[in-house]
């Protein structure tokens, strides 16, 4: 069966005063039906740009986006077709919902945009969809400001589901919520996936959240994927020094190893990225060879990693991270 989403060598460049900024720099990946791919990385590494390309908000400069085996095109008909297949949930439910519309109208708006069905049919769809996300008829008659943050995010999810898409792109969908509400929304997404067979591209800077919800994890740094594989493989056999640093900076993980690794400095500018391996300027294992050639993704053990010294790191013979604080 073809993948629900297939990206091939995706490139997104922005023109800036300092030159071309490669926000997404050659990403290829697939998401199968019913699968969640978690995409993780620090702020600025290109996650949102990739999401906007998948949903059609941004246009790629190169490569292709295939949805259900069809290359995503431009024009009105192609946009509507894409909206039926792919919907997006954003970080801030308050900002994403029109404050002047009742919840029922917010949820059914995509039906109107797609020119679907009568008003009474909209009502039925609103009730059905609200129930799927744990909201009742009562909530349909409220205004967004009358709801809690978690309920507002449920409204965003209902709105995203109303056209029966195959793929949901969740961009930091739980990051603005309290931890207990986060867990409820994540579990709701898992239940909906089981019921409807949906695929998710789940984007977050929080690797612990990504691990909880994802079948596979892709770690992104400066517009490229540096490690990708089954969620538990990437977590347990993390090979890329960037993935290791992301995991070691989670407080619970630091407590387990008794070691906190801080990722020093910021992500370098994508206008002028370091030569060779883009992570080398922050990498505790970096050597001269890292400045010379860019490491491509390749299979090492159970998954794929883009690091010249992945075998050494896997064998445990890589140098100890210099920036580890015992
Ligand atoms: N329209 C634009 N013009 C110029 N540069 C842009 C534009 N949009 C994004 N960028 C730059 O592209 C890079 C990737 O941004 P993007 O928002 O995709 O990252 P991100 O990983 O999603 O981070 P965040 O979580 O902070 O949104 C950043 O360096 C950003 O400054």
pLDDT digits (tens, 9 = 90+) for 92-121: 766 778 999 999 999 999 988 877 778 788
Is any ligand 1 atom within 6 A of the Cβ of residue 21? yes
Q: How far is the CA of 288 from the centre of ligand 1 (A)?
A: 29
* pLDDT score for 322: 40
Q: How many CA atoms lie within 13 Å of 251's alpha carbon, on the beta-carbon side? A: 0
Outline which parts of the chain fall under CATH 3.40.50.300: 5-98+162-236
Helix (H, G, I), strand (E, B) or coil at 133: coil
Predicted confidence at residue 320, as pLDDT, reads 45
ipTM of the complex, rounded to two decimals = 0.95
Q: What are the φ/ψ torsions at residue 132 (nearest 5 degrees)? A: -60, -30
CA trace torsion 317, 322, 325, 326 (10° rounding):
40
- Probe residue for ligand 1, chosen from 45, 55, 207 as the CB with the greatest number of ligand atoms within 8 Å: 45
pLDDT digits (tens, 9 = 90+) for 2-18: 799 999 999 999 999 99
CA separation for the pair 158, 170 (Å, rounded): 13
Q: State which ligand 1 atom lies nearest to the alpha carbon of 269.
A: 29
Residues (pLDDT < 50) of the chain are: 319-326
pLDDT in the model for residue 102: 95
Indicate the pTM of the whole model: 0.92
Nearest CA to ligand 1 atom 18: 46
CA distances from 90 to 47, 149, 266, 268, 269 (A): 13, 13, 24, 26, 25
- CATH 2.40.50.110 is right for the domain spanning 5-98+162-236: no
Would you say the CB of residue 270 lies under 6 angstroms from ligand 1? yes
- CA-52 nearest atom, ligand 1: 18
How far apart (Å, rounded) are the C-alpha atoms in residues 303 and 222?
20
pLDDT of residue 316: 77
């Amino acid at each position: 069966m073809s993948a629900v989403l297939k990206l091939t060598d995706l490139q997104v460049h922005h023109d800036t005063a300092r030159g071309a900024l490669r926000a997404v720099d050659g990403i290829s990946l697939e998401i199968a039906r019913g699968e969640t791919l978690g995409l993780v990385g620090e702020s600025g590494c290109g996650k949102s740009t990739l999401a906007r390309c998948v949903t059609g908000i941004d246009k790629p400069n190169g490569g292709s986006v295939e949805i259900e085996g069809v290359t995503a095109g431009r024009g009105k008909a192609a946009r509507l077709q894409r909206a039926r297949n792919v919907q997006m949930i954003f970080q801030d439910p308050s900002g994403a919902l029109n404050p002047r519309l009742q919840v029922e109208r917010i949820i059914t708006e995509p039906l109107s945009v797609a020119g679907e069905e009568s008003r009474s049919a909209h009502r039925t769809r609103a009730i059905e969809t609200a129930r799927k996300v744990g909201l009742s008829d009562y909530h349909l008659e409220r205004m967004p400001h009358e709801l809690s943050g978690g309920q507002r995010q449920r409204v965003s999810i209902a709105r995203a589901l109303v056209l029966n898409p195959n793929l949901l792109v969740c961009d930091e969908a739980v990051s603005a919520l309290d931890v207990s509400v986060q867990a409820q929304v994540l579990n709701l997404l898992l239940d909906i996936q089981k019921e409807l067979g949906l695929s998710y591209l789940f984007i977050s800077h929080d690797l612990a959240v990504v691990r909880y919800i994802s079948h596979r994890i892709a770690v992104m740094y400066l517009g490229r994927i540096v490690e990708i594989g089954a969620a538990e493989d990437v977590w347990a056999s993390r090979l890329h020094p960037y993935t290791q640093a992301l995991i070691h900076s989670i407080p619970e993980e630091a407590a387990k190893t008794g070691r906190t690794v801080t990722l020093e400095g910021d992500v370098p500018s994508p206008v002028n990225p370091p030569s060779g391996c883009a992570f080398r300027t922050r990498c505790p294992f970096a050597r001269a060879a890292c400045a010379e050639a860019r490491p491509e993704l390749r299979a090492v053990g159970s998954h794929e990693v883009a690091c010249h010294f992945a075998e050494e790191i896997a064998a445990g013979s890589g140098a100890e991270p210099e920036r580890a604080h015992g």
